Structure 1
Amino acid sequence: MKSPIPACARLLGAALLLGASPAPPTRYTVVMSGIAKGNLDVTREDDARRVLLSFRDRGRGPDLVTVTRYDPNGVPVEVDVSGTDYRRIAIAEHFASTAGKAQWTSAVDTGSAAAKGFYVTNEGNDEQLAALARALLKAPGHRLPLLPTGTASIRRMVDHKLAGSAAETLATLYFIDGLGMEPAPIWLDRDGELFAGGGTWFGVIRAGYEAGQPALLAAQTRASDEAARADAARLAKRPTGPVLIRGAMLFDAEARAMRPGMSVLVRGDRIAAVGRDGSIAVPKGAQVIDARGRSLLPGLWDMHVHLLGQRDGLMAMMAGITTVRDLGNDVPTLKALAEQFDSGTLIGPHVLKAGLIDGRGPFAGPTKALVSTPEETKAAVDQFASLGYPMIKLYSSLDPALVPVAVAEAHARGLRVGGHVPAGMTLTEAVDAGYDEVQHANFWLLQFLGPEVAARSNTPARFTDAYTRGHEIDPAGEPARAFVAHLKAKGTVVDPTLVTFENMFTGWKGEMSGWIAPWASRMPATALRDSRGGGRATTGAQLTDYRASFLRMQQLLKAMHDAGVPVVNGTDGSAMLYARELELHVAAGIPAADVLYDATLGAARVMKQDRDSGSIAAGKRADLILVDGDPTARIGAVRCASLVMKDGVLHDGNGLAVAAGLKPRSGACR
């Protein structure tokens, strides 16, 4: 009878049982935003390696064992992955290459191909990335085909010395191209073994060298930014004189309407004049842009991001987003990034910042501002105020008793307050305590599900309770109507981030995620593998309920809009999700012109920036996008920015897309 234990795992286990003496595991620390969260352990035995990845992030996090057997060139011939993934879902992935044929099964696909390639697991880790780097360094031309699809190559970037608990070590940074839309960084030691990987939000580093991670990441950022600065110099066109855009359908954000046949004159970083075609004289030496057949919009605002690096800025601009609000990040990292966006050294949007504050405990958020007392709470608020942040974001594990303290101090310092609903509170209670806005529509559903649900909303139950029980809510019932009326009466702003929940609630294995489908033809094949992995439902009955729960969020959003509750648009992720967020609002029944208002002038008004931004008017900042088609007729047209202007600087939309890792757009806008 065939053993249920995978072959490569049996081989490694047999070596141990027979008395072999494998090297002890090499331990790596998993670090998230500067905080140790768990470990990655690598055990080597001849041609096999066993990797254990275990960490915790707000109640989520994997416990995965990956055993891989390699050929003499370092190419996997068998891989087995077992355990639970980041979402705590059981995983079983297997790959084997025999007799010239490769076969694999994973959570997202099953397939076979000629055995000519390096298999990339769906559930990866940094040791597997290091193994790919070693194989690429051996390969002719430092290139290898990938399985299931694609081709990878490697570049040596920089060396860096670190002092640790054992000894000084030289680590070398490599960038691997071909795995996704951006290079994958990996640090190897002198022997080609993993030393570190990842970035500021999530990374691993060899145990004993944790204190050196910031310097290592700084060197990695410098290496990455060098190419990005070259892109900025090449893609950013600074006009030498005035710019006249004419023949445009102009979105009048004040009136929430399109105005055909309009011209806009830009001088420097400001809009100088707006009027009907022919009403503005062409200044001497002006650059004239013919916008016929296209729509001119104010630059879009993504009101919920976490910038992880310069590529996030590039992606935002590619998506027509010229202003973002970062709702929690490493303070010095975000400062350095925003300053380079502002100076034009790197391509990126204007950045508004919110300081993230949470309570201590196993479900604490990714922030160093962890508080347990009123004094600590006030000090944390004051720190962010002194940095010039206009907002603080309170998180799920904050003691409810400290919410009024944080709110009072923030309001006294002129800061807005928003965030998650802390465990033990309802959304209404958070609003009554002084929240100016609330992030994430799942908290709307939790509002109606009772105190037991509220008590665990700092755990992953804030998702599971929402999708398993949200369908029970009557969005037209008296409790829901009273809830919406209360938000309106308090002037509370809502930031739904529906796109972060769409696939979780509605996805089904084999179906492509809604946000990714319009981009798929322009994305690298390797970046698409996980797009059909589905959501949380595993049965048809669950899918029906979970999709109904998502519909409840859309129905509540429509009710809020109709009642006059201010709505802002945020992704809590990649800028490539932004257009889908707008589409979900339109699908909820909100007119496209109102959604565009929310994405421009409405957001600027929420952040008290509307005198300077948010609409196309003389004297305002020259943040404009030119898109193909009419987004008031089809909101998805915002994906198709042919021209992006920030502070009067021009960027070609296709050029931005290619720099971001996409293929150039051809044919009709999707």
Structure 2
Amino acid sequence: MWGVKFYTSMNPAWIAPAAAEAHRLGLHVHGHVPAGMRPLDAVRAGYDEITHINFIMMQAMPQDVVNKANTAARLEGPARYGKDVDLDSPAMTAFYAELGKRGTVIDPTLTVWEPLMTSDGSGLSPEYAPFADVAPPAVVRGWKIGGYPLFGGLTRDDFRKSFAKMVGLVGRLHRAGVPIVAGTDGYGLELVRELELYQQAGLTNAQALQTATIVPARLAGMADRTGSIAPGKSADIILVQGNTENDITTLRKLHTVFLKGYRLDAAALRTASGIRGMPH
């Protein structure tokens, strides 16, 4: 699948004609929401997908935050006001319903926001903590983050409450039938934590797993050959130690990888990449 990605600096007046031309060319339209637009404006103008949960939260932000979404306001607005958003208000419920009716895809990347909003610098954020004892020390040092600087009299607890609303927002989108795809904006190690957060949002383990498998495969027009285990599909499979139906964190405990039909030993792959053992 080919697509075009728009960013916050794009003139809102350009979105509808640009999206129309992209669709004429068979391109998928996605990205950040331009400053001055709310996510529903972008969807009505032609977006097929919105990336990052903060831009979904922009639907409930004050207009001055929306107008400056091409600045730090795209983070600071949701951090300041997110905790007070009523996720079940009639306006927000109608918003979810329209996204679901349109089939708009959302890529939340919650693992981008969790360390920024919840970390106080006392330890590794949850997406990296399972690798703390097995990854190279230099890599672990690079994972340490103190969170986004506090501002405007807000506390870290305020930020954490706003992040909790972001997690809750994902659950409401899912219940409204909005397709969720799992992304990280990171190394890839963060993916399992992303799925854990979807579980916290109310998805079952199977539903969370589908956000990283069959749902994106459908989005990319590749569901006939990947995204699930079935005869005739690509032999891209992982075997893990444990039952992901009961514990989704077992996805970190890789035993064997099958890639394009070739069997790869996960322990050997970990050793080759500098990982000294199984993540916790």
TM-score (norm: length of structure 1): 0.41
C-alpha deviation, 1:482, in angstroms: 1.2
Q: In 1, distance between residues paired with 2:14 and 2:144?
A: 42
Corresponding position of 1:422: 34
Corresponding position of 2:137: 525
Q: 1:508 to 1:530 in 2, by over 3 A?
A: farther
Corresponding position of 1:600: 213
Matched, 1:626 2:249: no
Q: Which amino acid aligns with 1:390?
A: W
Q: Which amino acid aligns with 1:550?
A: F
Deviations 1:458-501 (A, max 9, x none): 11221111112111201111121111111111110000000011
1:502 to 86, 91, 114: 114
Corresponding position of 1:565: 178
Matched position secondary structure for 2:238: strand
Stretch deviating more after TM superposition (397-406 or 653-662): 653-662
Corresponding position of 2:199: 586
Corresponding position of 1:551: 164
Matched position secondary structure for 2:155: helix
Q: Which has a greater percent of helix?
A: 2
Give matches, 1:176-325, under 5 Å: none
Give matches, 1:115-194, under 5 Å: none
Corresponding position of 1:239: none
- Listed as ranges, the gaps of 5+ residues in structure 1 are 1-388
Corresponding position of 1:613: 226
Alignment coverage as a number of residue pairs: 279
Structure possessing the higher radius of gyration over alpha carbons: 1
Corresponding position of 1:483: 95
The structure showing larger relative contact order (alpha-carbon pairs under 8 Å, at least 6 residues apart) is: 2
Q: In 2, distance between residues paired with 1:529 and 1:623?
A: 32
C-alpha deviation, 1:406, in angstroms: 1.6
Give the percent of matched residue pairs that are identical in Structure 1 and Structure 2.
39
Matched position secondary structure for 2:213: helix
* Preserved CA contact (<8 Å) 2:80 2:154: no
Corresponding position of 1:397: 9
Corresponding position of 1:662: 275
Matched position secondary structure for 2:190: helix
Corresponding position of 2:125: 513
2:188 to 568, 572, 575: 575
Matched, 1:462 2:78: no
* Preserved CA contact (<8 Å) 1:644 1:650: yes
Corresponding position of 1:450: 62
Q: In 2, distance between residues paired with 1:486 and 1:652?
A: 45
Corresponding position of 1:244: none
Q: Which amino acid aligns with 2:7?
A: Y
Q: In 2, distance between residues paired with 1:548 and 1:482?
A: 23
Corresponding position of 1:408: 20
TM-score (norm: length of structure 2): 0.95
Q: In 1, distance between residues paired with 2:17 and 2:186?
A: 30
C-alpha deviation, 1:411, in angstroms: 0.8
C-alpha deviation, 1:526, in angstroms: 2.5
* Preserved CA contact (<8 Å) 2:135 2:274: yes
Q: In 2, distance between residues paired with 1:536 and 1:621?
A: 41
Q: In 1, distance between residues paired with 2:70 and 2:272?
A: 38
* Preserved CA contact (<8 Å) 1:622 1:645: yes
Q: In 1, distance between residues paired with 2:111 and 2:205?
A: 17
Moved over 3 A (4+): 530-533, 537-541
Q: In 2, distance between residues paired with 1:550 and 1:445?
A: 11
Q: Which amino acid aligns with 1:601?
A: I
Q: Which amino acid aligns with 1:641?
A: L
C-alpha deviation, 1:531, in angstroms: 4.1
* Preserved CA contact (<8 Å) 1:537 1:546: no
Q: In 2, distance between residues paired with 1:575 and 1:659?
A: 17
Deviations 1:551-609 (A, max 9, x none): 11111111111111100000111111111111111111211111112211111111111
Matched position secondary structure for 1:484: helix
Q: Which amino acid aligns with 1:613?
A: T
Q: Which amino acid aligns with 1:596?
A: L
1:635 to 231, 234, 248: 248
Matched position secondary structure for 2:227: coil
Q: Which has a greater percent of strand?
A: 1
Q: In 1, distance between residues paired with 2:120 and 2:142?
A: 12
State the Cα RMSD in Å. 1.6
- Listed as ranges, the gaps of 5+ residues in structure 2 are none
* Preserved CA contact (<8 Å) 2:50 2:56: no
C-alpha deviation, 1:534, in angstroms: 2.2
Matched position secondary structure for 2:121: coil
